[in-house]
Amino acid sequence: MSGIKTTETDRKFSRVVRKAANFICARCGANWAHDTRKMHCSHFKSRRYVKTRHSLLNVAPLCASCHKEMGDHPDKHTEWFTNWIGQEKYDRLIALHNSIAKPHKGWDMEKRKHWGAQEKRIDNLRLQGVTGYIEPEPMEFEL
């Protein structure tokens, strides 16, 4: 365990990432809709970094097995993740990670509302029969 406290915003964000992927692992393609606890929201840059903690650029929906494999092999993780999101998005992630921007008061509440709304949007699209990956709408700071 990372020892980093999990917040309500973390839980909402994780659900959005996993539901958007329809509980299908981005690496191996396994479908975990039958046991959603085995589907993870895997962060490339650690959750301890506030600027990238809830960034769609920084996460991949991975099954528990692939998440462990990537965590055990950082070089392999970097290569896979960069290929998965593409070099342009990877460069944007690194720029966001290295930026000097600081979160403003109320930022967590804004994120919680945004990811809650995105979860509802994805749930509604699934009820309408939409299958496959549903792209969540990023927060402004990620654009």
What tens-digit pLDDT sequence spans the chain (143 residues)? 457 889 999 999 999 999 999 999 999 999 999 999 999 999 999 999 988 999 999 999 999 999 999 999 999 999 999 999 999 999 999 999 998 877 777 888 999 999 999 999 999 999 999 999 999 999 876 64
pTM for the predicted model, two decimal places: 0.91
* Helix segments in 86-106, DSSP class H: 87-98
Residue 32's alpha-carbon distances to 18, 21, 40, in angstroms, are 10, 10, 10
What is the per-residue pLDDT for 52? 92
Domain definitions of the chain by residue range = 8-124
